[in-house]
Homo-oligomer: A and B are copies of this chain.
């Protein structure tokens, strides 16, 4: 819809960064709505495995081949990977040019498009290289979710459930009661779900834009999840799948500590499983491997491994005072590779 995007583009040049899955669906329509501008595009391969520095270099090459000047706008048309790559390169190109996000997955609509974090992966750690960079505008169109693969939709649901688990037990209950219309993509229900998710994230980010304190709560399930993603090679497990099992592990470990009741653990597992997300032990990785990879994760503060643990549904907290035994038991139970 041209009336939505045009007012947010001040210069004359636009670079659309998208991928091979999204381009055939929406690129032409977006270009048409931008026809009064000088528009070029760059179509990347799909998936987390393209989120690295060599792809960033490809984008810089394209920017300089045109060349884009400082008033040009970069538009990210795609999911979280596209948002990260386009955002990071927009942040660095000439030390920052305008940037707009059009997230086309549930995951990017409820998570990566809020908060201004961009990052690319390094073989030794996820999102290790990046920038804090806010888009001029995020344009969310719910109708694009109808073309999303079911596994991708589920992956987004992991982050949605996360907001309930962190500090919004009412939202968690709403999800339990409304999961069927959500999975059937009922527009009104989806709109509420996305709105609540973005509000939840924005509230936490506002308190702490640069992640000194409460923002860490958003990493619930992510320290385990990133290790799973790294262990299995970026792309084998979807991000939300890693986060889903990671949240289950965080709840399990909290239960081991005596902080979470079995009933709350079961509720979490049940909702996650209903979204077709993993909750069971996996042979894709081993306990020792995961522990090592978690030690490298950027949530590490001066050598102490900080984790987001829980005292129940909606009661996550930042914890660096736990028994290593509870961690080891959790890893031994879930990481059976």
Q: Which residues of A come within 8 Å of B, CB atoms?
A: 11-12, 53, 56-57, 60-61, 64-65, 67, 69-71, 91-96, 117-119, 122, 124-125, 128-132, 210, 296, 298, 300-303
The answer to whether A130 touches B92, judged by C-beta atoms less than 8 angstroms apart, is yes
Query: Does A300 lie within 8 Å of B128, measured CB to CB?
Result: no
Given the contacts A53-B57, A60-B128, A302 and B92 also touching, CB distance less than 8 Å: no
Whether the Cβ atoms of B298 and A94 lie closer than 8 Å is yes
Asked if A131 meets B298 with Cβ closer than 8 Å, knowing A64-B122, A67-B124, A125-B67, the reply is no
A sample of 13 more A-B contacts (CB under 8 A), given A64-B296, A93-B128, A95-B117, is A11-B302, A60-B122, A60-B129, A67-B124, A69-B301, A69-B302, A71-B301, A93-B129, A94-B130, A94-B298, A95-B119, A96-B132, A131-B131
A-B contacts, 13 of them at CB < 8 A, read A11-B302, A53-B56, A60-B129, A64-B124, A64-B128, A64-B296, A70-B298, A71-B301, A92-B129, A93-B129, A94-B129, A95-B118, A96-B132
A298–B93 Cα gap in the complex (Å)? 10
Q: How far is the CB of A209 from chain B (nearest CB, A)?
A: 11
Question: B64, B95, B122, B300: which contacts A125 (Cβ < 8 A)?
Answer: B64
A58 CB, nearest partner CB in chain B, Å: 11
A60–B125 CA distance with the chains assembled, in angstroms: 11
Identify the interface centre among A53, A67, A303: most chain B CB within 10 Å of its CB: A67
Contacts of A119 in B (CB 8 A): 95
CA of A11 to CA of B304, assembled, Å: 13
